[in-house]
Structure formats: C-alpha cells, structure tokens
Amino acid sequence: MEKHDGRDTGEARFDDPWYDALASGWGELDGTGAPAPAVPSARLEREGRTGGTADVYLEVQRSAAFQEVRSRYRRFVVPGVAVFFTWYVGYVVTATTAPGFMARPVAGAVNVAMVAGLGQFLTTFLFTWAYARHARLRRDRAALDLRWDTQELTRSVRGGER
C-alpha cells in the first residue's frame, strides 16, 4: 500500500475563468512566479504605465453590462430587505407593546404570537426562494457573460504584457 502526503503531484487545470484571475487583484503573479505588487491605478497613470488587469476590472465595473447586473440586484434586494425588516421589527414591537393581542388564541393552544413567529420562518424561506429564483432568471446569465468577457480581457492584457 502506497503512502501519500495528501498533495497532488500533477498539475490541475480548471476551466473556471476566475481560477487564475482574482477579482481583488491579490495573489496575481508578475510573470516570474512572484506576487505582483499592488499599485493603485492613479499612481500608474501618473507614471505613464498601465495597470494591466486592474484596469480591466475598473473598465468592467464602469461598463453598462456590469451596471445593469448591479441594478437588477438592487431592484430586488432593497425592497426585499425593507419588507422583511419591517415585518420582523413589526413582530418584535407588537410582541413587546401588545402582549394581550399576541396572547389571543387562534386555534386551541395556538395564539397570534405562535402564528406570527412561524410566519417569520415561512417568510425567511419564501424570500430565500424568491432571491434564488430572481438571481437565476434575471442576473446569472448576464453575470456569467460578464465574467467570461472579463476573463478574456484579462487574458489578452496578460498576453500583451509578456
């Protein structure tokens, strides 16, 4: 029986476009295998140099496609958070200021507080499902297209720097 130390000796190549290019720019290599220094884009522009992949990410962030993905995200999340937070705070405020109302029986030993408390769980799952559905139908395709375009731009910039 062979003993392994847990490390894979072979090189693995992932098809994920983000495997080699981190969005934050941290951990990128300078071509020699050493980590590339993090230099702000404004400083690079003053020195007359380009920022390489950093400029690609800034360009993508300013693009209409990226702004549309972010806008779709905000149009769902902001109202969703407002509704859920209002519902949660309403439950807590009602439970503390109107204990008589919350103690009112609904069916047998089940009172208004129990129904509202279970409603909190139900709405949590409902909002989670709605968020996942919205992401799948309205944002995932556009975000994936943007991701692949960004990776192609990053590869072309890296190819030009060598």
pLDDT in tens, 144-160: 888 887 788 777 777 66
What is the CA 24 to chain-centroid distance, rounded? 13
pLDDT of residue 138: 84
Q: What is the pLDDT of residue 153?
A: 77
Give the single-character DSSP code of 17. Answer: T
The amino acid occupying position 29 is L
- Cα–Cα nearest to 149, from 15, 18, 13: 18
Are 76 and 134 spatial neighbours (Cβ–Cβ below 8 Å)?
yes
End-to-end Cα distance, the chain: 45
Q: Can you read off the two tokens belonging to residue 15?
A: 């098809």
Instruction: List, in sequence order, the alpha helices (H) in the chain.
Output: 41-46, 53-62, 64-97, 99-102, 112-134, 140-161
Q: What pLDDT is recorded for position 41? A: 47
- Residue 38: the pLDDT is 47
**Cα 94-96-100 angle, rounded to 5 deg:** 75
Q: Which residues in the chain show pLDDT less than 70?
A: 1-51, 159-162
pLDDT digits (tens, 9 = 90+) for 114-145: 999 999 999 999 999 999 999 888 888 888 88
- The pLDDT, as a whole number, for residue 149 is 79
pLDDT at residue 29 in the model:
54
| pLDDT for the residue 21 | 47
